[in-house]
Structure 1
């Protein structure tokens, strides 16, 4: 459908009403006429009026001013992009380097003689005097070369340049016209500045102008409205209260000027402008007529058919479009649409194309109206093509749109894609495909996919319920399931194990079964899915950890963290975090810190979606900070870890969060708060997390001076026998029974394979027992060995929490302050013993800058008693002066 004068002369501007007035204004008898004998229409020379609601876009105005310092400025973009409005507003600014001539070209002007007749008349209309006035073309079909030569020569002899704005050159796709235009532009020198407005690149030799640096280009991406400009546009339409909608509209329209303006006009008419902005359907209806008239209706039937059929896709490949249209011309048509700026753009570096979102919605509506019932068939065709070409996620999105769950779940299982629901860069997008699937859909594959989706949400109980359904379907079918089905079932069983020690679901056995089933799948297919082996190793490591087989779990986590592909990054992130936690609990703080930071870096820099990021890495760093006495850093990482999705779902993460917070409260002298933190433990914990709670509970009771409660907390041994024995020995020592405590400990030399933390703890118990037995020499020697073991890792907490005897014993040795300065170098040293009620009262009076005598009078105590309390406060807070004691108490929240 040819564009009329109004649509040809503007994208989104006011119409001009004098389309049929001759150029001279004197009537047909004296009007300047073209070579066909028809009058030349004056409306083509009119500079369009600037809309009242114009958004002044200084960045583009400046670009045009700079560009017209050279010979050629090109403004290209789709219909409604604001090309003409931009040029007209720039002319109105008055920053052009010379007089401006405007010509709007139309499809009827494609004959060379007609086109150049309009060019010469435009110069005359805008009163551009030439030293030698060229003759008008005598024929519509060609132009004498001498005319072009005289025109170029006349322009070149002007003192001031002429800025010639040629709007709609895409309507004159004639090589003879553009070649002649290039000739005149080249030979007019600095006296002609050409501004071309076009929907597509004109047939000018743009490559040459680019190579010579003689062109300024303003493309559709430059014309797109920014969020700030969209906000200004809404304000210009009286929609000041809708500024929050600017982001939504800018994203939905892609910054398309006409779309934004049409939406703003519709928002003026509605009672709920912000609701309109949120509604995709409303936005679509606001611009549908424009897009249909300006874009779709101007295309041939075959092109319209391809656009409508391909609109079901976010991105379309020529071969896929051929499948949908059952033709072979898609590549040629899509290339033409891309060149024409018909709201189709190519994806850089590929053969794929994408549609502007609103345009795609309009096309889909058009498809449903004109071809009811065709969309589901097209989506099934697209799903099959995409799956066969390695684009399963996009295929599943097409299947989900038609609720073809049987096909979608079968492809997930049969193609070994079940692990991609749990790891990989598209895990979240894949899981989103199945949000609309009924959870009780019959069949083995739907149950397996539903189970994997539940596991991705940390709903392990829900996962196990779906796996039970899958096994029931297998039994009912009375047929041997495929190796792929068995592999998916075994892998999910391993990953969802509650870790309760059920022999039928033992982690090692299930992991071995998974490995055996994977071996039944062709090796080439296994190589395409490294995530299966990574998940198997992680499931094995997790099962070993939950049941307390820590050494084996550590080895398994290290193996699971070995993969370095996008498909296994989630597993690597999780495994490195768990490995770091185990190392921090063993006292291997340097390695723990390294692996924890690597876990966090993996999450930030690679393919780990936010929904799959674990807090275990932050938790490991918090544990490292606690062991080194850095309370601020510990609290910082605890807070970061608690914000991660697994903080409330994973039993290990949840338990260690509670334990770390309890130790932090204990370090700050808040024993009751420490015990209260442990009371929030999840119900029915697996063996090892349950033991971790018991060990922390016992340690806090020891610190509070209640060894009976500490022993009671350890009534069950738990899977980590060494940790249980050490905690029990510490509690018996605190109760005044050193012989029983020593009897529980392993013989010297039997704990070489234990972690650094346990070795230090055993040595400290032996040292304290020796000191209580008045064997100061042996106590000092044993304490020295403990310090030697701890120092390479800067492990401070066991010494700072052991009690005041450690400091007194160290003071007996020569150069103790210098040799053991590392113990007190933390940014926030821990409290070595909890303050009594009286000591807190004395400290509060110190904070009020009261003298010793004033404190004694206020508390009805003797001065010597107050001094005794002060000495005890200094010792417990590891300070030597009153001011330091007050400052440290405030840091620890004691005041």
Structure 2
């Protein structure tokens, strides 16, 4: 994979030593945007038309602060959200001390799955970026040049969010020809920003005269200087060109009388006056190279098919004509935008097809230098869909990883003729349609794809594997599990090991098919393989997704100790790579809470689950799934009101977001439990029927836990034979799939059934088998929910097992608990009593003052920070402690000893 981010776009341009000095404006910028003491506002907006020297002004103002400043020159193709922030973060990371800032955010964008081709909330990633900025206390000046090129509303909204929440030591300087759609009036009223406008940066006569005296080859009369200044209206680019034209003019007085008009017309007139003196080959090559956004000698020569680049660049630089160096090494350059626009216009007049032909040459050069995103931008500008299709066919996965789903969305617009010439794109488009629309149009695409072939065996084998992967996904959408498995196996046989995009996707999907078909151990094997493949590829953020899958499969299998160990290892990775505050991490917390719930430690379970829900609130699907664990805890505690509240909440979420069946089926299962508790047996039967669980019919695969409610219903109705038949089926499946929690529940219900039929001996045998089966995992809640302690057969069974030294659940010990210490394993210190991510020194200071009852304003005054900064630190403290209020934060901090030693 090749990095598609060019360093030159985040390189601060060198100082232009011949530039016109504007000491009054530079002093203003020094006082408001450069000196860190003055970082009382977040933004300096420098807004003026082209050619007034915005870039030069900002660059000179930052002279001496180069090592503490980041620079991002924005281009048209940066309107992709992830690409924009990729460059923004690269600019920040170029500053010493900020090298690790934004890594979490960049990984988040690079690692988004195809599901994010639909709407996605990027707030967690931006929050992670802001948190990283808060963690570095050195001053940072961040310049965004040519920001007017951004028209992506999501970027505009997110930048406003970023600016409003930036820490006090970070200052953003935005250079633009037009105002961004931000709340500028409010920010001005709040003192958040300063403006530098046209009237600020337009040259005064004294400034223009001083520059003319130093730049002119011969003395300039004051009247001539005044004429040049008046006609250019203090416009920097016009003044520079006017002097060059004046010195080339055969009749200077005639020249001074003739040029006038708008900036645009003056500019065109002056450029024509300058370039008409150039040699033909120079003009021709400069015109051809004007289609390139930025160039070095090699790219210049390749596009122009000549070897004059080095000499032409040197000549233009020497005479300060239209060319802008982009680095201190003198390798990369760009033309002044007005000059480039004029030359492209002239090039089109000469030959309307030539600009696009030259852009395609530029695309070819970038492809040869492993820069597919740059090549794609030129192909798109040339409107060459054939080349775009070719680039996507060979580089789509790299572009997807670097730029996220927005970078590959144009594949959806490619027509069938193009797809047939680039068959792999058929598989990609079909996969995208599955994600976006659930399958509409996919079958037609697959049939078209199956009629296409590659001539070489290697390409054809990969292509067939890709189609099989899509077929597997498509079959699952129709709930055709066997067909999905068949195609999935074929895909894994055909797709080579190093093609992680397709293999990992199939492995995870295959694991889902197995898990939701009631085969969690088989699912775990696929999840583990996917986890190892992702790890081998060095993609640490996707490890969070595969880790969640693995952990859940372990919980379903009842391997709680392994699940807990995996969670702790994932927390370590999250801590190492700064993922600890992202939404996905919330799923690990709720699953850790479920382990404590299963062991009967409801207090630790509640703390973990609340922390997980707090983290994942911005990600609707994860948040809804995580609520199932709170639902389970509330039911285990007997808190029926909270159970009902969560059910209503999830049903409302489903109405708005169409939640996965995994979530909605679980919710229905708990509604069945509530109905059984109330004796509403007909309601319970109806709800079960809606899930396909009905008396006298085969139990759907994956509905085994739900089918236990059918057993409970049969027992309540004294349909003991029917209950026994269902239990036999469920026990066979539990044993075949090594599903311990299911087997224990089946054994307990068999014991309960045998008590009803007065078969005490066999009832005791089943209870004893269940207790032995769960001894190694310190289970307690399963037995508590079935009220085993109240059974008449329990005491003699417990007595026998105690004599053998078998560990028993706390709820089944002697009534006076005299033998509790001898019976139970010592409980480990809950992992919840540690922080996945430690508090920063500043957060510790804030927490100590919160514990003393200080208000946010009082804390801000004490620490000499802004109120917004204190609120930000407080929010971080809440997130790390997994709470949502000051009182809970202090209580949690005291419980785990965070306040010990803090003054």
Using structure 2 for the length normalisation, give the TM-score. Answer: 0.51
Structure 1 position 702, deviation (Å)? 3.6
**Alignment CA distance shift 1:460-1:389 (3 Å):** same
Q: Is the 8 A contact 1:455 1:462 kept in 2?
A: no
Aligned residues: 592
Which of 469, 492, 513 is the aligned partner of 1:491?
A: 469
Larger Rg: 1
Asked whether 1:80 is paired with 2:52, we answer no
The residue aligned with 1:672 is 644
SS at match of 2:21: coil
Matched, 1:720 2:709: no
2:406 is equivalent to residue 397 of structure 1: no
Change (3 A) 1:425 1:227: same
Structure 2: any 5+ residue segments left out of the alignment?
Answer: 1-15, 38-52, 65-139, 147-168, 203-233, 245-266, 694-698, 791-809, 833-890, 892-903
Please say if 1:344 is aligned against 2:319: no
Distance 2:480 2:827 in 1: 45
1:753-772 superposed matches below 5 A: 754-766=738-750, 768=752
Q: Distance in 1 between matches of 2:240 and 2:787?
A: 79
Cα gap change, 1:726 to 1:10, in 2 (>3 Å) = closer
**Cα gap change, 1:693/1:338 in structure 2, threshold over 3 Å: closer, same or farther?**
farther
- The counterpart of 2:485, out of the listed 508, 513, 527, is 508
Corresponding residue of 1:559: 529
Candidates 790, 801, 804, aligned match of 2:785: 801
**1:583 and 2:558 matched:** no
Distance 1:78 1:685 in 2: 50
Residues 534, 52 of structure 1: alpha-carbon distance in 2 compared, 3 angstrom cutoff: closer
Give RMSD over aligned pairs: 6.1
Identify the match of residue 408 of structure 2 among 397, 418, 431.
Answer: 431
Are 1:663 and 2:632 matched, yes or no? yes
- Determine the C-alpha separation between the residues in 2 that align with 1:601 and 1:445: 47
- Within 5 Å, give how 1:312-461 maps onto structure 2: 316=295, 318-328=297-307, 330=309, 343-346=324-327, 353=332, 361-362=337-338, 364-372=340-348, 373=352, 374-413=354-393, 415=394, 417-420=395-398, 424-428=401-405, 430-432=407-409, 434=411, 437=413, 443-444=419-420, 449=425, 452=428, 455=431, 459-461=435-437
**1:535-574 to 2 correspondences below 5 Å:** 535-563=505-533, 564-565=535-536, 572-574=543-545
CA contact (8 A) 2:141 2:172 kept: no
Is 1:631 equivalent to 2:634 in the alignment? no
Please report how far the alpha carbon of residue 627 of structure 1 lies from its aligned counterpart in structure 2 after TM superposition.
3.9
CA distance, structure 2, for counterparts of residue 606 and residue 294 of structure 1: 55
Equivalent residue of 1:12, what SS?
coil
Deviations 1:523-575 (A, max 9, x none): xxx75x44333333334334434544433222112112212255866764433
Q: Distance in 2 between matches of 1:729 and 1:243?
A: 63
Is the deviation greater in 805-814 or in 389-398? 805-814
Distance (Å, rounded) in 2 between the aligned partners of 1:689 and 1:469: 31
- Measured in 1, the distance between the counterparts of 2:556 and 2:709 equals 14
Counterpart pick for 1:698 among 666, 669, 672 = 672
Matches within 5 A, 1:119-518: 228=171, 230=173, 262=198, 289=238, 316=295, 318-328=297-307, 330=309, 343-346=324-327, 353=332, 361-362=337-338, 364-372=340-348, 373=352, 374-413=354-393, 415=394, 417-420=395-398, 424-428=401-405, 430-432=407-409, 434=411, 437=413, 443-444=419-420, 449=425, 452=428, 455=431, 459-461=435-437, 465-466=441-442, 468-469=444-445, 471-472=447-448, 483=460, 485-502=463-480, 506-515=483-492, 517-518=494-495
Q: Which moves more between the two structures, 399-408 or 596-605?
A: 596-605
Alignment check: 8 A CA contact 1:500 1:546 kept: no
Distance in 1 between the 2:712 and 2:519 partners? 23
Conserved 8 A contact 1:698-1:731? no
Distance 1:726 1:550, change over 3 A: same
* 1:428-455 Cα distance to aligned partner (Å, 9 max, x none): 35325557x3677764368964873674
Aligned residues of 2:344 and 2:355 also touching (Cα < 8 A): yes
Instruction: Please state whether the residue corresponding to 2:326 is helix, strand or coil.
Output: strand
8 A contact 1:316–1:353 mirrored in 2: yes
761-770 vs 387-396, which moves further: 761-770
Aligned to 1:126: none
State the shift of 1:397 in Å. Answer: 2.6
Q: Distance in 2 between matches of 1:450 and 1:820?
A: 59
Change (3 A) 1:702 1:82: closer
**Partner SS state of residue 506, structure 1:** helix
- The verdict on how the C-alpha distance between 1:293 and 1:571 changes in structure 2, with shifts beyond 3 A counting, is farther
How far 1:687 sits from its partner (Å)? 8.4
Q: 1:434 to 1:735 in 2, by over 3 A?
A: same
Q: Do the aligned residues in 2 keep the contact of 1:55 with 1:232 (CA within 8 Å)?
A: no
Contact 2:520 2:556 in 1 (8 A): no
CA contact (8 A) 1:764 1:786 kept: yes
Question: Distance in 2 between the 1:612 and 1:294 partners?
Answer: 59
Q: What corresponds to 2:727 in structure 1?
A: 745
Distance 2:730 2:362 in 1: 71
Deviation digits for residues 600-656 of structure 1 (CA, Å, limit 9, x no counterpart) = 777897799x99979865664565465453124224324544533xx45xxxx6984
Post-superposition offset of 1:719: 0.3
Deviation at 1:757, TM superposition (A): 1.7
Q: 1:764 to 1:727 in 2, by over 3 A?
A: same
Aligned to 1:534: 504
Alpha-carbon spacing, 1:792–1:749, altered in 2? closer, same or farther (3 Å): same
- Check the 8 A contact 1:561/1:575 in 2, yes or no: yes
Query: Which aligned pairs between 1:838-857 and structure 2 lie closer than 5 A?
Result: none
Distance 2:651 2:144 in 1: 60
Corresponding residue number in structure 2 for 1:150: none
1:692-725 CA distance string (max 9 Å, x none) = 5554443343444545544554442210365355
CA–CA separation in structure 1 for the residues paired with 2:342 and 2:763: 89
- Asked whether the equivalents of residues 699 and 727 of structure 1 are also in contact (C-alpha less than 8 Å), the reply is yes
SS for the counterpart of 2:521 is helix
For residues 360 and 176 of structure 2, what CA distance do their matches in structure 1 show? 42
CA contact (8 A) 1:315 1:354 kept: yes
Q: Which has the higher contact order (CA 8 A, sep 6+)?
A: 2
